Structure 1
Amino acid sequence: MHADRRWARSAVAAAGAVILFTTACEGTPASADGDKGNPGFAAFQGKPCPELTAADRTNGYLITTVADPREGITVRPGGEPRTVLVKLCNTTGRALRDIALSAQVEWNYAGERPPKLTVERREAPDGDWHPVELVVANDYQPLTGASGARDLPAHGTRTVEYRISAAEDAPEGRGWLGIHAVRADADPLDMKDMRGGGSGGLPLTTAPGE
C-alpha cells in the first residue's frame, strides 16, 4: 500500500497540474436508460472549488478539485458496482484544451494476476456510460487508454462519474486507482509538454463478499 501511495505522489509531481480527490457512493446506478443519476451529485456539485495556494502556483498547478469523502471504495467479486464522482476545477482565466482522462492500477494490485475489474465513465449527472481501458502497469502512463477529451472552460468545472465492478472470479486486490487528466495531444516523452494535466485517485480494494 505504501508503494502505491508513493507511485501516486510521484505521478502528481511529474504531471504538476491537478490533484484529484473523490466521493464514493454506495449502490449501483441504473442503466443509462431511465437513469436519474447519482443521488449525491447535487450536493457534490455545490461544493466550492478551492483556490490555488502559493505552493500550487510554484509547482505550476492549473487545476484543483473538491471531493468528499476520500477514503476509497471496495468492490466484491460478482457484486454490485460502486460509483465515484470526480470534479475538476480550472482555476485559470483560459480554457484548457482537450483534457482526456485515463485510469491505472499497479501491476501488483492483485498479486500480479489480472485484476478482472470493469471500469466505466460518464459525464455526470446522467450521461451515457462508456468503457474505460484500465491500465495495469507500474510506470506512469497517463496517455495510455486516455479518452473522453473535452475542453475545461476558463474558471469552469467538469464532473465525471466512474462505475467499477469486479468479475465473479476476480482475485483479491488492494492498491491505488490512479485517475489521470492529460492533454490528449501531449508528447509523452516531454514532461513539460504534459503540464496542464495531472494525476490523483483513490484507494481501491477487491475483497470477498461479506
Structure 2
Amino acid sequence: MTRILIVDDDHELRETIKEVIEQENFQATTAQNADEALALVQHDSFDLIILDMVMPGTDGMNAIPLLRRYSPGSRIVVITAFSTVQNAVQALRQGAHDYLSKPFTIETLLATIGKNLQEASFTDCAETLDSEDIFQGLANQLRRQIIFTLKQQGNMCFMELVRALAIEDHTKVNFHLKVLREAGFIEQDQKKCYILTSAGEKAASCLAFINKNLGLTD
C-alpha cells in the first residue's frame, strides 16, 4: 500500500488531508512539525511526503535536504500559504519534487499526489530496467510473455507454461526459460515448476506499468 506522510502544524488541515488520502486507499501518517517527521523517516519508509513550509522549529525549507538524506526514495510535495516563484524555485533546488499553494482544492491535491506517484513509478522502473543484463533478459517478446504469464498464473510446470503460451516449439521455450533463469527473473521450486523471483516480480510490474501508461501492447 502507498504510504504518505503529512507534515503540517495546522491540526485541522493535517487531519483533513489525512482523511482525503485514506479515502483514496492510501496509508496516511501525520507529523505536526518537521522534527517529528525527521524522526519518523529514520524508522519508516514513505512513498510521498506532503510538507508545510512554515512551522515552528525546523522549517520546511531546511527540512527538505534532511528528509532527502534519510528518505531518498520519497517524493516531496511542499505546501505553503506564502506562494512565490522564488519560494518554489528554492524548494525545488533543495530537493522538493512539487509545490502546492494554500488554499488548494481536494481535486488539485489528489491530482498532484497522483502525478508524483506516477513519476516515482517511472523513475523506479527506469532504474530497475536500466541495466544491460536486464535489458537483454527482457528484450525478447517471448521472454516478456513468459514473465507476464507467470505473473498472472503463478507457479507453472514446463508443459503448463508451453500450453499457456501456445508455442509448439518446446526447444524455443526451454531456451528462453534458461535465459530468464540466468538473468535472475525466474527460478524453479521443489516440484520443478517455474516461479518469478523478486526481480521477476518487479520487472513484470514495471513492464505492465509502462505498457499501460504508454498505451503499448505486448
TM-score range, shorter chain: under 0.3
- Normalised by the length of structure 2, the TM-score is 0.23
Q: Greater helix share, 1 or 2?
A: 2
**Structure with more strand by fraction:** 1
- TM-score w.r.t. the length of structure 1 is 0.24
The structure, 1 or 2, with the larger RCO (C-alpha pairs under 8 Å, 6+ apart) is: 1
